[in-house]
Structure 1
Amino acid sequence: MTVSLPPSPHWPELIKSGSRVFVGGNAAVPYALIQHLIDHSTGFTDIELVHMLTLGDTRWAREEYRALFKANTFFIGGDEVRKAVDEGRADYTPCFLSEISGLFSDGTLPLDAALVNVSPPDPFGYCSLGTSVDICMSAVRQAGKVIAQINKQVPRTAGHSYIHISEIDACLEADEPLVEVPTPPIDSVTERIGQYVAMLVENGATLQFGIGKIPSATLKYLTKHQDLGIHSEMLTDSILAPLEAGAITNRKKTFHPGKVVTSFAIGTQRLYDLIDNNPHIEFYPSSYVNKPANIAKNDNMIAINSALEVDLTGQVVADSLGHDFYSGIGGQVDFVSGAAMSKNGKAIIALPSTAANETVSRITACVTPGAGVVTSRGNVQYVVTEYGIASLKGKSIRERALELIRVAHPKFRAGLLEEVRQHYWVPHYQAKYPTDIPELGDIQLKKLTLQGDNFYMRPLNPADERRLQEFFYSHTKETLRLRYNHDPKQMSRAKSCNLVSVDQSTDAALCIVRQEGSRITIHAVGRFYYNPHDNSCEAAFVTRENQQGKGMAKRLLSQLIDIARQRGIDRMVAMVRADNRPMIKIFEQANFTRRVSDDPSDVELQLSLEKDA
């Protein structure tokens, strides 16, 4: 079957001065077509170019073309566009990615024409929008005229990515490589963030992620997972490693099972080759992919997005640096909302704790003046930095502040606690800010599997105040008697706060928790108190009754012994009631020896930590 191509563009028949013209974006900008318009622009003025993120040479935004074009972008990217927005020669229109198509269809932003980059037609006359279906398909459907760059280097992608040659009013045949964006190198900070985010991803989860170091680091640590799925507004080269490792199968997806679902791709030629004629990867318009109700149809939906800053109440700034607009809303709110509605879904905001060579904290007491909140404090469930995971869902303002201070850079934590006192109620007894245990290394969270159940071991911190109080009130009288040598009746918030506010560089306090979504339950606590007068420490433990016998105390003791040894402490001692035989056994299995005690009801145990012991 022979397919006839439309005529070459004769621009006066397609647009006029003052027209609003859509330009295909991301990696598929039709550069040759735009240059053809520039070369034949005599008599044209004030053409509004509407687009998403545009990569590569955004020549239309240069100062020299200010009389010819004015850009109106939904997502700021590239030096030329960003400079034009800063100087007022271009506009930024904030909008959820899922709703941009509606601006074209309801007449808010009617389009006179659409310039798109497409593959050559197949024998039946169908061209593919390739790497950029997103809002391009909607623009093609709504624009008065469709002008296409027929480009042999545009891959043919599956899904709803096809337009028929009869829908194209004019075309220019021009082969141009798509813009390539290689995976950025992963530094130590993003490596740690990726490890923490990966801990929140269970086997069988469906993922959404963006571009940059953090998604790359996260997906690197998901290669050993099983049956992961992808429902994401975009694909990058980060998907290649887990795909090749067999971690991504889409088998457990509950919406489009067996398929990767996306709306645009930005990467290298390896990615573009992967999606070319690949029936397992389907592209759909953003109005479909980013619709929160569709996202929520995926059980175990994990949305991983980033931010420029997060304040201590959980407000997320993602498109502006103060008064300077930097990027755009994009699909963050769409996927945060969809993941929150998903069964067992998780909405994660991941970002480095600092900027500007560690001189600026990205965890802030208040939003920077002029900055806009993209995702509200009511939407965010988790905030992850290189210092850990802050769980915010269901937390009070004070609890949120403590959680977020814990994952801030250590040198900013004291200042953040003081700042938060000026704005939100913090009790007088909340005197200490969270500290890390240096001996645990970069990753303070350790995943444990005990008798088939998953738990985490981590430092106890001030945000655990209420959780420790609940832990105390879960104990039976017998447990309290064995642990405290009497039957305490109360664990006040002030006392609980004192127990969780630990200077972890001197003493050490660990807990083992189970995290189910945003629900965190303490199941065991172990600690030692340092005695500087003889360079010793005293250890103590308590385990929730229904978890006893799983080895939690043994794990905590082993970790505390390791910490004490690294600190050069000479010996560890413990005082245990003589009738607490299970606890005595745990200490003796760790090579503690009994010492003579003045009180026959107590057993004193000791372990030498010196190197020659």
Structure 2
Amino acid sequence: MSLTNKAGTPVQWGDFLKSGNRVFIGSNAAVPNLLIQNLIDHSAKLHDIETVHILTFSDNVWALPEHKDLFKVNSLFIGGKNVREAVAEGRADYTPCFISEIPTLFKENILPLDAALVMVSPPDEYGYCSLGVSVDVVASAVKSAKYVIAQVNPNMPCTNGHSFIHINQIHAWLDGKEPLPEIPEPDIDQVSERIGQYAAMLVENGSTIQIGIGKIPAAVLRYLANHKDLGVHSEMISDGIIDLMLSGVINNRKKTFHKGKTVVTFCIGSQRLYDFVHKNQHVEFYPSEHINSPVNIAKNDNMVSINSAIEVDLTGQVVSDSIGYHFYSGIGGQVDFVRGAWLSKGGKPVIVLPSTTKDGKISRIVPHVTEGGGVVTSRGHVAYVVTEFGIANLIGKSIRERALELIRIAHPKFREQLLKDVRKNYWVPEYQDNTPTSVPELGAIEFKKYTFAGDRYILRPLGPADERKLQEFFYSHTKETLMMRYNHHATQMTREKSCNLVSVDQHKDLALCFTQQEHLGEVIQAVGRYYYIESANAAEVAFVIRECQRGKGMATTLLLQIIKIAKKRGLAKLLACVRRDNAPMLKVFENTGFIRGYSEDFDEVALTFDLLETNKYKEKNNEHSQS
């Protein structure tokens, strides 16, 4: 293989490069490895060639110690063993920047390019080659570089969109056939699957999504299989997108920007993915300055961005490119899409991460950013954070509320220490006694979706971060409602009282609520709880429903869920005291199987539900049905 010009005449690298030049290397799955090896083999007297690139799925031979005199590595996004080691050892540089702004670095000669080394497909009958699976910042490098030197690879797919370069724009090329790097679909572990379930709950039908690659993104895509009319506007796609498009879940019909098209800057995955995007008119590749522009992202209504993190502190700061002082990856497109989703009508920026490191010894929800760690996404940009323990909604939350929300989704074994740590700065008051506890009886995902009168609601545990929402719920009640619930004219719900009501040890007592999403906010519509009575192995049940939500079945649904949980916990009885003039609530209890009993207070009706007798009755029925 030899380097030739468009006339077919052999040329030398020295015709295009001299020592001290800066060259761009193609991105992601489009690294021109044979071209780079040819440069190494014929470098002659060249020295100190600066290489700039983003993520490269390659052996990254230019970053090996033996080539340190030929190449000086400047990575705009760290990835791959050799590049990461070179940066860690000080042999290479890392330049943090938003993907959307890298083209400006080239165009404005902040990082002027002497040459762009890229991989392309063979030219078509009109003389156009395709940048294929990696248009991203490659397109801008091609436009800005003095010379474009290409590896023409027949294995490179021809992709649609703004992915083409004419042979007249290429100054020299090398015919070099090589397989594209493949990344098989990952095996999804239990933690990733749980995170995927939670994150998928934040994606409504008709949303447009941005998502990355790895176990958690694969899990999210798996749990989108029953959604409808999704669209894609993403920096990248992987194999998980294929079946969703083939099944019609992703059809891009509801998109408000690039309607009808899945739009991306690059893809990385298996050969199946590369075959899928080849001449696929439904998938279009565009440069990063177009796809990653927050303004363009925001043109998609209901834009949901899903990005990963290394750690999140209790104020909501997201560390994504470093582990302490050790630079690991890069800023990439995270901030571009977080900002774009925030600006989108109905949009949601989501950060996902496991609650601990792989060995389970270190919490990734931390009281403060690890020394040396860099904040990629600021606390002002964060909306939702998801771990395997739930969804933390930080929108409009104070530092105190954020801390409590994030402690709730931290691993249980770290919650108490996180609460102690956060109190050192007086962010959380002393009367906030309990760390958040879970209700495992609700299932692996402690959220249940319900529809009442055509509107959607979430049933979930009440938690410490709901303090303000519970206050608002209290002050929404009429005097009549307060009298029915508290049996006196309650006029105030102090912060301390509200905090006490939401700081529930859910393993002993129980507090559930129905909430309704109002775009980025959440409103409590109903609360049902029981208080455990240890001496009788029983619990007293109480409810309050927002006036405008009554008659829809919320109280009955809450009561049935409470009965189910109480049975699982082995309680003997459930008790309730209801004002005699509260006919609707009496009807709810009696229709569910509660029996009236003696009450010392004439104004109240005492009700009992015998859980053990109900279990016996069911067992007998089961025996009869089996016989």
- Whether the TM-score (by the shorter chain) exceeds 0.5 is yes
Deviation per CA, 1:90-124, whole angstroms, max 9, x where unpaired?
A: 11110000000111111111001010000000011
Computed over aligned residues only, the root mean square deviation of the Cα atoms, in angstroms, reads 1.1
The equivalent of 1:392 in structure 2 is 394
Partner SS for 1:583: helix
Q: How many pairs were matched up?
A: 611
The equivalent of 2:52 in structure 1 is 50
Q: Among residues 71, 78, 81, which one is paired with 1:79 in the alignment?
A: 81
Partner SS for 2:47: coil
The equivalent of 2:259 in structure 1 is 257
The equivalent of 2:547 in structure 1 is 545
The equivalent of 1:152 in structure 2 is 154
- Give the deviation of 1:30 after TM superposition: 0.5
8 Å CA contact retained: 1:103, 1:109:
yes
Partner SS for 1:218: helix
Q: Among residues 130, 133, 138, which one is paired with 1:131 in the alignment?
A: 133
User: 2: CA distance between counterparts of 1:212 and 1:449?
Assistant: 33
Deviation per CA, 1:186-245, whole angstroms, max 9, x where unpaired?
A: 111111111111111111110001111111111111111111000001111121231122
Deviation per CA, 1:144-178, whole angstroms, max 9, x where unpaired?
A: 11100000000000010000001111100011111
The equivalent of 1:501 in structure 2 is 503
Could you tell me which amino acid in structure 2 is paired with residue 124 of structure 1? Y
Q: What pairs up with 1:223-234 in 2 under 5 angstroms?
A: 223-234=225-236
The equivalent of 1:172 in structure 2 is 174
The equivalent of 1:457 in structure 2 is 459
The equivalent of 1:338 in structure 2 is 340
Question: Cα gap change, 1:147/1:273 in structure 2, threshold over 3 Å: closer, same or farther?
Answer: same
Could you tell me which amino acid in structure 1 is paired with residue 93 of structure 2? D
The equivalent of 2:527 in structure 1 is 525
Could you tell me which amino acid in structure 1 is paired with residue 616 of structure 2? D
Partner SS for 1:111: coil
Question: Cα gap change, 1:5/1:320 in structure 2, threshold over 3 Å: closer, same or farther?
Answer: farther
Partner SS for 1:133: coil
Q: What pairs up with 1:267-416 in 2 under 5 angstroms?
A: 267-416=269-418
Partner SS for 1:513: strand
Scaled by the length of structure 1, what TM-score is found?
0.98
Q: What pairs up with 1:58-77 in 2 under 5 angstroms?
A: 58-77=60-79
Q: Among residues 411, 435, 438, which one is paired with 2:440 in the alignment?
A: 438
User: 2: CA distance between counterparts of 1:367 and 1:18?
Assistant: 38
The equivalent of 2:622 in structure 1 is none
The equivalent of 1:35 in structure 2 is 37
User: 2: CA distance between counterparts of 1:521 and 1:8?
Assistant: 71
8 Å CA contact retained: 1:20, 1:112:
yes
The equivalent of 2:221 in structure 1 is 219
1:583 and 2:588 are equivalent in the alignment: no
Question: Cα gap change, 1:588/1:330 in structure 2, threshold over 3 Å: closer, same or farther?
Answer: same
Deviation per CA, 1:3-29, whole angstroms, max 9, x where unpaired?
A: 966544510101111110100010110
8 Å CA contact retained: 2:6, 2:172:
no
8 Å CA contact retained: 1:97, 1:286:
yes
User: 2: CA distance between counterparts of 1:120 and 1:113?
Assistant: 20
User: 2: CA distance between counterparts of 1:9 and 1:557?
Assistant: 81
Could you tell me which amino acid in structure 1 is paired with residue 287 of structure 2? P
Could you tell me which amino acid in structure 1 is paired with residue 575 of structure 2? V
8 Å CA contact retained: 1:6, 1:168:
no
The equivalent of 2:145 in structure 1 is 143
Partner SS for 2:535: coil
8 Å CA contact retained: 1:392, 1:518:
no
User: 1: CA distance between counterparts of 2:25 and 2:286?
Assistant: 18
User: 2: CA distance between counterparts of 1:436 and 1:551?
Assistant: 25
User: 1: CA distance between counterparts of 2:6 and 2:86?
Assistant: 40
Partner SS for 1:207: strand
8 Å CA contact retained: 1:9, 1:171:
no
User: 2: CA distance between counterparts of 1:364 and 1:566?
Assistant: 34
- Give the deviation of 1:273 after TM superposition: 0.6
Gaps in structure 2 of 5+ consecutive residues: 618-627
The equivalent of 2:623 in structure 1 is none
User: 1: CA distance between counterparts of 2:21 and 2:594?
Assistant: 83
- Give the deviation of 1:46 after TM superposition: 0.8
User: 1: CA distance between counterparts of 2:85 and 2:9?
Assistant: 36
8 Å CA contact retained: 1:154, 1:178:
yes
Identity of matched residues, % = 61
8 Å CA contact retained: 1:316, 1:374:
yes
User: 2: CA distance between counterparts of 1:471 and 1:6?
Assistant: 77
The equivalent of 2:512 in structure 1 is 510
Partner SS for 1:192: helix
The equivalent of 2:598 in structure 1 is 596
User: 2: CA distance between counterparts of 1:95 and 1:88?
Assistant: 19
Partner SS for 1:360: coil
- Give the deviation of 1:588 after TM superposition: 1.1
Scaled by the length of structure 2, what TM-score is found?
0.96
Partner SS for 2:193: helix
- Give the deviation of 1:370 after TM superposition: 0.3
Could you tell me which amino acid in structure 1 is paired with residue 535 of structure 2? H
8 Å CA contact retained: 1:6, 1:169:
no
Could you tell me which amino acid in structure 1 is paired with residue 213 of structure 2? I
8 Å CA contact retained: 2:121, 2:157:
yes
The equivalent of 2:616 in structure 1 is 612
Instruction: Give 4+ residue runs of structure 1 displaced > 6 Å after superposition.
Output: none
The equivalent of 1:266 in structure 2 is 268
Could you tell me which amino acid in structure 1 is paired with residue 314 of structure 2? L
8 Å CA contact retained: 1:354, 1:360:
yes
User: 2: CA distance between counterparts of 1:245 and 1:556?
Assistant: 36
